[in-house]
A = this chain, B = another copy of it.
């Protein structure tokens, strides 16, 4: 017989594991004065290699625009990003990463890589493959 009683438990295990992982990432990023949200914005800007509209950032990071307004407010207060007028569209406001922002992004990515290594180390290869497959199945469903 299978283990029917594990079904509900697994869902909560998934939520719990993700929560713990998030806490771990936030803690690690906190060491360089970043959060997952802030690093996400900086990384998008660095990868794009040019200023992006707040609207575009919100779309890429899957959040609403009002959230990006506040996030960029805080990043600007931190000196990691600058608001720039969009010459092509007067409605639009672009976020440009600063020199300090670029440096911080590198530092943040490094901290994130550490957590990724921890994660990988804690998970035997067979389990990692199985986890990937299971999550893929969930994503399709």
Contacts and interface: CB of A to CB of B under 8 A. Distances in A.
Q: Is the interface of A mostly helix, strand, loop or mixed?
A: helix
* A: interface residue count bin: 35 or more
Given A130-B130, A131-B131, A116 B18 contact: no
Identical subunits present = 2
A8 interface: yes
A22 B14 CA distance: 10
A60 to B, nearest CB: 14
A32 interface: no
Interface string A118-141: 111111110111111111111111
Interface of A: 2-3, 6-11, 13-22, 115-116, 118-125, 127-141
